[in-house]
Amino acid sequence: MNHLKRVWFITGTSTGFGRALAQQVIAHGDYLVATARNIKDIEALQQQAPERVLTLNLDVQREEDAKQAVQKALEQFGQIDILVNNAGYGLLGAFEELADEQIRHQFETNVFGLMNVTRAVLPILRDQRSGHIINISSILGLTAFPGLSVYSASKFAVEGLSIGLAQELAPLGIKLTLIEPGAFRTKFGATTLDKAATQNTETYDDTAGGIRNFLSDLNGVEPGDPERAANIIVQIAEMEKPPLHLILGRKALQDAKDKLGAQFSSIEKWTDVTISADFDEPIPSSFPE
């Protein structure tokens, strides 16, 4: 094996961002471990470069699946350089409309699934003292909209985990980047979006209902180009100092600025109340900055 080429391990490569990125990695000449719940959906990837591509079944909700897939990747290529946690899906509906089973499944995939795969790969990156974890989050990991509150909650969890994990891993030579896309033409609304079984339209028609209609109208005409996004991710993986956060898409950028601006204004407005909660003594010098 040519060790100048990197080994990518990508989850959820059957469609969307995962598929576009897998194609880009192959075109770039790197090695690829492509995973999906149904291996038949990704067999074509291995056929493009049989000596450089390994396709594996992986249900990220199953911790043992993650361990076995990582072990097979090691047996095939001897290392893993870049982990891309891409597997996930959206959940649409007002919170009250969503069943408990739907909410738990959302977190099992988007959050605990990501944790399962990351835990399986981390010992390898730690032993290598190198590597890059790329977590596919969402602009909805920075802000939220009605009708997507649970999906946002799962991505907020990914953001919090990633920010803390990045600090744990930096001294070990391991990088971490959060990709925060807006609306991309990945068939998100058509194939990877679960919906509430019942809709209380009278109560939520102007909130969750509005987002439901918006996503339906947007399907197939989203402004984001998955191939361009995949190319950007490959470039990020080559950087000596990649960003921790990378927003993708003009609308996503504006949404982030609007949210952070409103949050900062609120912080400023309530500063006196905020600091009044402390004792009058100075903050201990041992507090982390």
pLDDT tens digits, residue range 161-172?
Answer: 999 999 999 999
**From the candidates 14, 31, 138, 151, which is the catalytic residue?**
151
Does the annotation mark 138 as catalytic? Answer: no
Q: Is 135 left (phi over 0), alpha (psi -120 to 50) or beta?
A: beta
pLDDT for res 55: 97
By residue count, the chain amounts to: 289
- Span 29-51, average pLDDT: 95
Rounded CA-CA distance 33/130 in Å is 18
Is 130 buried (19+), middle (13-18) or exposed (0-12) by CB count in 10 A? middle
Q: Hey, what CATH class is 7-250 in?
A: alpha beta
Rounded CA-CA distance 177/238 in Å is 12
pLDDT for res 248: 96
- Res 116 pLDDT > 80: yes
**How large a percentage of the chain has pLDDT more than 70?**
92
Q: In this structure, is the dihedral angle defined by the CA atoms of residues 71, 72, 77 and 80, taken in order, positive or negative?
A: negative
- Res 102 pLDDT > 70: yes
Entry pTM: 0.92
Does the annotation mark 204 as catalytic? Answer: no
**From the candidates 138, 152, 154, 155, which is the catalytic residue?**
155
Note whether 21 and 237 are within 8 A (CB): no
Is 271 buried (19+), middle (13-18) or exposed (0-12) by CB count in 10 A? exposed
CA distances from 43 to 39, 70, 230 (A): 6, 18, 20
pLDDT for res 2: 46
Note whether 138 and 183 are within 8 A (CB): no
**From the candidates 137, 138, 149, 152, which is the catalytic residue?**
137
Q: In the structure, what pLDDT confidence band is assigned to residue 200 with cuts at 50, 70 and 90?
A: low
Mean pLDDT, all residues of the chain: 91
- Res 190 pLDDT > 60: no
Tokens 């990837």, located at residue: 45
Residue type, 115: M
